[in-house]
Structure formats: C-alpha cells, structure tokens
A and B are shown apart, each in its own frame.
Chain A
Amino acid sequence: GNSVTQMEGPVTLSEEAFLTINCTYTATGYPSLFWYVQYPGEGLQLLLKATKADDKGSNKGFEATYRKETTSFHLEKGSVQVSDSAVYFCALSDRNYGQNFVFGPGTRLSVLP
C-alpha cells in the first residue's frame, strides 16, 4: 500500500537558519504530494502541493520539489522564523489508489529567537 515517511523530530533551529524536512513516499500509482502545517491548538492547513513529477510547490518561503526518481518531496526554507514553529506533515493522494490521503507522522519544528 501507499505510505509516507518523514524525518523524526523534533527539529530545533535558531531563527534565520536553513530548514530541511525530509519526506519520502511509496505509491502504486501517480500521487499528488502535499505539505500540511499544524500550529499549536489548530487544525492542519495546506502549506503547498505538487501534482506531477518535477513540479515545485511553494508558499510563505517554503518550497518542495516532486522528485519521482527518488520518490521524495523534501520541504525547505532558506530562513526560518519563530512563527514557523509548528508540526509539519507530508502527505500523498493517489488517484489510482482510489481513496483518501496518506499522512506522514509529522515533524515538530521549534525555532528559537
């Protein structure tokens, strides 16, 4: 079946540091890939997405590129802020699998001033 693997957290960075959160996936078909963010006390929000190989999703300074050859969708940001502290979830949706999203376990990011 389909699955998503993320780097284990927590990740602690200083403000303005470079961020990478690794995500790899296993899918039987041609998935769309997503990053969601969950701020404390809130539901998950879509951060960015990519629907086909080599697509780059971007939003709020975050980027991720759909790499079919390495089955990866790593999240990056060049300079994190304290306000980026949250839990980040990688997810996939595979139309050939005919159903819902598969979420990764989440990676908690803490950014220190």
Chain B
Amino acid sequence: DAGVIQSPRHEVTEMGQEVTLRCKPISGHNSLFWYRQTMMRGLELLIYFNNNVPIDDSGMPEDRFSAKMPNASFSTLKIQPSEPRDSAVYFCASSLAAPQGYNEQFFGPGTRLTVL
C-alpha cells in the first residue's frame, strides 16, 4: 500500500493567492482528517469526513478555508485568499472507522505551505 498521499509536498505562494492541497487516503479507509501543525499552536484538527461526508468542521479557522471530499479516494483543502499566518504544515490522515471506535490514523507526509 502506498499510504496516504499528499500533494504538493511544498508550496510557496504570495498573499492573496488561492492554494489547493490534495490528499489521497489509503484505499478502503472511510474516514479522512485534515490537520494543521505550527510551532505556536501544535497539531490542530481542521475538519474530518466520514464516508465522504463532513462530520466536524469546527476547527476550520475561517471562511477562507474550505474542504471537499468528492469521492472516497480524494480530498482537497482550499485556502482563498491565503495569508502569511496560514503558513504551516498541513497533514492529511485516514482511518477505518469501526463500530467499536476509531482505529489508528495513518498520516501523509504533509504539505509545507509558505505564504509570503
């Protein structure tokens, strides 16, 4: 298995530009999570999906952030317009939600975003 795949691995953009981060979860997993990691705030959950449906987006910082999961094998996180304070590493993770509770999450390598 290739694991969780994220693209791009690095993104440098200018303030005001639109940024789209992509994620392919592990085949067969039914839950997908987007996290943001910074030195100041640590690891923050932004949003998660179960069976392609957004379940909790309370961690999305503001309306500039949006996430979609059009099918079981693909998700995007979009920031529009981007701001320097959005600079962080963004991780995607997937898991197989079982009736007894969520199993371990498998993380992608992350996308390092720098907004100038």
Give me the interface of A with B, judged by CB distance under 8 Å. Answer: 31-32, 34, 36, 42-46, 49, 89, 93-95, 99-101, 103, 105-106
Chain A nearest CB from B23 CB (Å) reads: 11
Q: Point out the residue from B42, B43, B55, B104 that lies within 8 Å of A34, measured CB to CB.
A: B104
With A99-B48, A100-B102 already in contact, 11 other A-B pairs whose C-beta atoms are closer than 8 Å = A34-B104, A43-B110, A44-B43, A44-B105, A44-B107, A89-B43, A94-B101, A95-B100, A95-B102, A99-B56, A105-B42
Give the residues from 44 to 81 in chain B that come closer than 8 angstroms, CB to CB, to chain A. Answer: 45, 48, 55-56
Q: How large is the interface on B (under 10, 10 to 19, 20 to 34, 35 or more residues)?
A: 20 to 34
Q: Point out the residue from B48, B55, B101 that lies within 8 Å of A93, measured CB to CB.
A: B101
Give me the interface of B with A, judged by CB distance under 8 Å. Answer: 4, 31, 33, 42-43, 45, 48, 55-56, 91, 93, 100-110
**Cβ-defined contact, B107 with A43, below 8 A:** yes
User: Can you list the 3 inter-chain pairs with the closest CB atoms, starting with the nearest?
Assistant: A95-B101, A43-B107, A44-B107
**Cβ-defined contact, A32 with B101, below 8 A:** yes
Q: How far is the CA of A46 from the CA of B109 in the complex (A)?
A: 13
**Cβ-defined contact, A43 with B101, below 8 A:** no
> Given known contacts A45-B107, A100-B33, A106-B42, is B102 in contact with A93 (CB within 8 Å)?
yes
**Cβ-defined contact, A99 with B55, below 8 A:** yes
Q: How far is the CA of A99 from the CA of B4 in the complex (A)?
A: 20
Chain B nearest CB from A79 CB (Å) reads: 26
* A and B contact pairs by CB, cutoff 8 A, 7 listed: A32-B101, A32-B102, A99-B48, A99-B56, A100-B102, A101-B45, A105-B42
Q: Point out the residue from A31, A42, A46 that lies within 8 Å of B104, measured CB to CB.
A: A46
With a cutoff of 8 Å between Cβ atoms, the chain A residues found around residue B4 in the complex are: 43
Closest to B105 in A: A101
With a cutoff of 8 Å between Cβ atoms, the chain A residues found around residue B55 in the complex are: 99
Chain A nearest CB from B33 CB (Å) reads: 6
With a cutoff of 8 Å between Cβ atoms, the chain A residues found around residue B103 in the complex are: 93
Closest to B3 in A: A43
Q: How far is the CA of A34 from the CA of B93 in the complex (A)?
A: 15
